[in-house]
Amino acid sequence: MAKQSVEALIQGGKASAAPPLGPALGPLGVNIGQVVADINKKTEAFKGMQVPVVVEVDTDTKEFTISVGTPPASALIKQEASIQKGSGKPKEELLADLRIEQVIKVAKMKEEGLSGKTLKEKVKEIVGTCQSMGIMVEGMRAQEAQEAINAGSFDQEIVQEKTDISAEELKKLEEEKKQMQAELAEKHEKEEAEAKSILAAMEGKERGEIKAKMAEADISSEVIDKLLPLDVQEEEQQQP
Residues 95, 82, 172, 101, CA torsion sign: negative
pLDDT by residue (tens digit) across 83-112? 999 988 888 889 999 999 999 999 988 887
Of 48, 68, 88, the one marking the end of a domain is 68
pLDDT for residue 234: 43
Of 18, 39, 68, the one marking the end of a domain is 68
Give the chain's domain count: 3
pLDDT for residue 230: 66
Q: Is residue 171, in this structure, part of any structural domain at all? A: no
Domain that holds residue 148: 73-165
Q: Is residue 174, in this structure, part of any structural domain at all? A: no
Residues 58 and 138 in one domain: no
Residues 93 and 158 in one domain: yes
pLDDT for residue 196: 92
Residues 205 and 192 in one domain: yes
CA angle 125, 70, 11 (to 5 degrees): 140
Asked whether the beta carbons of 120 and 149 are under 8 A apart, the reply is yes
β-partners of residue 30 are: none
Q: Is residue 173, in this structure, part of any structural domain at all? A: no
The domain that contains 45 carries what CATH number?
3.30.1550.10
C-alpha distance from residue 23 to each of 31, 40, 160, 162, 187 (Å): 13, 18, 43, 40, 52
Residues 25 and 81 in one domain: no
pLDDT for residue 1: 55
pLDDT for residue 235: 41
d(CA 55, CA 85): 31
What phi, psi does 225 have (nearest 5°)?
-65, -30
pLDDT for residue 118: 95
d(CA 93, CA 81): 15
Of 136, 165, 194, the one marking the end of a domain is 165
pLDDT along the chain (240 residues), means of 10: 86 90 91 93 82 91 90 90 89 92 92 89 96 95 95 96 91 92 89 92 90 88 82 42
Residues 185 and 113 in one domain: no
pLDDT for residue 231: 52
